[in-house]
Structure 1
């Protein structure tokens, strides 16, 4: 059994992970999915990591840290502070040491301009009622401290996997394949989903996360 610390993306909430949590718990795992203080102008990446570390508490026996989208900036900071066995980034931003969130897109050569409203960009493959609920659960994303350099000094010495969605309209697969290779030197795994697979493909994503745990256990 593993404990999954599930980190949501920008302007979101722990609710985002609720379907994946049910799937993982059905497979015998434990989960935590805290709300980050993303709507607090006084909070930055350190405070985001604080929220995750508090939620993890003493569940450090077999900890898997999972970051979605902007959560990719928080996840490696958590791995620096608690003993994790695995780091998984889903449709992520993959930070370089000392990089500010606001510099990420220029630094990675991001030139995409996804058209459409929030549902069209983030939830195009999510059932309509669930997509509407996701919008309702969304929160304001403060940008007050996103221009600060990340406190990350080096990538944590934890096995790392990246999952991308083949139909992601925000981070298209060709872009994320390149960034994953350039920054981590690995090849991402791919699933048939848009930017939010925890809602559109929760069973498939949970099965992939479970398979990672099994692979680590065999090493």
Structure 2
């Protein structure tokens, strides 16, 4: 990565870091886009929205901006015969997916999806304007928790339970109540707030459970089938 401080003198760390960064773009990034990325017409963008919410408003605003800028890496649109011939293959469908949905009780999944839709609205609007089909959802490709309820200070909480990744100990976890209106998160994020005013949101790292599957059964997941249906259902 380049370092701040201008061009730097010959042989300096700043000059060497800048030289290697340009070489990385030329020898790694550009060939990847030319030889691999340019042939993709369906794309899923995995987003750690819960991790950003846990880190605070500034991280959420950074994520929102990144989701808009990432469309610069794609060529969204429809793949008509002349379009492919003249302009190359375009990305027809883009799914923005909030990961780690298993770290929340299913009652909060609609709120997470709504936050995901709000975070990616600028990016999705740009893609739709170019002719691409977009969607946002919350999912977990490998479910690591189970759901239960518990009483805390006289209040019933919907929690998830699983084995902690670092220690292996069983734990029940309540991350906080996500707002049903995404503006309660995005407004302070856009305003540059240092922390959430009304509530702190937390996240734990759960380890996948040991699986004993029958032949033909797949691992437990959340909405992976709906993601596949959106991305490739029309091809099947």
TM-score normalised to structure 2 length:
0.33
Say which structure, 1 or 2, has more relative contact order (CA 8 Å, 6+ apart). Answer: 1
TM-score, normalised with respect to structure 1: 0.35
Return the index of the structure with the highest Cα Rg.
2
